[in-house]
Structure 1
């Protein structure tokens, strides 16, 4: 099937999926109000096969050093799949499944599958990475850009992480866990009981981002948008906390956004 844009609907919710633009969610409208920042780089893109930055773009697999392109010098950032065209495997009115085969510069063959399921009050995103040959380290995450303002007051971000990853001058976690500091943030937080972050646009809408995963990056240094990024490990995690994808055991992750209108 093609990689043309897909629109899913349920109740008064509508989501746009863009297989041809990195498998990203191009928009999420609730009662006609767009919640995601618009533009070809925004919406919500998948971070695969790594999340955030890799130090100097290098990661170890056993004794082999692999070099990724430095798309955020001096580091490599946010994986490779957001740069490619995905294919549509199936779709209904409120659900679609899209796939992407890993290619260079990623050195290992494999497939990424993303399922997008919409209801009248929630959106669930599920991703899996399969290995076709050798096992390899990987991460899964999502990078949504939520509009800071929906026409009223700015959004409020509420969450209670167990710790904050100390951030070095190179924007990467140092390995130290510290008490949560006040924002603005471009920081990774640990939530051992699962990611649970509530975004509230006063008088309009509350949206809860949840995931069984235990890591979330919150990025709110930009004027237009706030990012809440559930992921399977911290930035530079291919080196510090790799999750192994094997031919018999894929890596899987999911996140659900649930909203309530006031």
Structure 2
């Protein structure tokens, strides 16, 4: 493990074989870079890479959610909704680093109305990356979500073809005009997508850059958002519940039942 300065933030660099991962704890503990054999897989820039979504994923309707008899208002950072949680906007603290692994934490605070701690760990091998995130309460129980929002480059350069996305979902969450799930499940539709899909046997999505690389995104969770409406990148986002999940499908974090989610990216060269 090494620590390196960049123009955007300080990064923690992990290596395994020809895989190089840079985590930026000061910039929301996002993955700033993943290079395989020297080839960058993630869109670069302080807002991109791959960031954690916590303590909620995607949009929360009008920034409001209930916990028991209390209604809470979150900042509306994607009007008229609150989007992608608060974890991507704060600095995380390192709690352990090695050559190919690292762990970081941050404490939930205003504008999130409950006390708790989030831990994120990274385990890099020559042909895979496993990331795990947990949410624990330090007081009252509260609903929460966790997941990731990676920006994979659509094209790896050098004249190669664009990435192809392949997956077999059991259903698609119908999306309303407000970009929120209506609560109705429909048969999966062809892209382009900014949509949530259900995979009861676990998330399993394959990105293929023809002739270059195949990367699989897997997770035991059954929810994934696929977003491919931008020219530069495609996003495959495992998460612990659907968008607006704080309201549609609240998952309580209690003193004896923390929320935990993992995802694995595994890759193989095609050349």
TM-score range, shorter chain: over 0.9
Secondary structure at 1:20 match in 2: helix
1:110 matches 2:142? no
Aligned-pair distance for 1:217?
A: 0.1
Which position in structure 2 is the counterpart of 1:173?
181
Write out aligned runs for 1:74-223 (5 A): 74-151=80-157, 152-223=160-231
Runs of 4+ in 1 over 3 A off after TM superposition: none
- Mapping for residues 61-80 of structure 1, pairs under 5 Å: 61-80=67-86
Cα distance, 1:248 vs. partner?
Answer: 1.6
* Partner secondary structure for residue 150 of structure 2: strand
TM-score by length of 2: 0.95
Residue-pair matches, total: 261
Unaligned runs of 5+ in 1: none
Runs of 5+ unmatched residues, structure 2: 4-8
Shift, 1:5, TM fit: 1.4
* Rounded Cα–Cα distance in structure 1 between residues aligned with 2:198 and 2:244: 15
Q: Distance in 2 between matches of 1:18 and 1:250?
A: 25
Give the whole-Å Cα distance in 2 for the aligned partners of 1:23 and 1:108: 20
What SS does structure 1 have at the residue aligned with 2:260?
Answer: strand
- In the superposition, the TM-score normalised over structure 1's length comes to 0.99
1:13-92 matches, within 5 Å, as 13-92=19-98
| Coordinate RMSD, CA, aligned | 0.9
Q: Which residue of 1 aligns with 2:6?
A: none
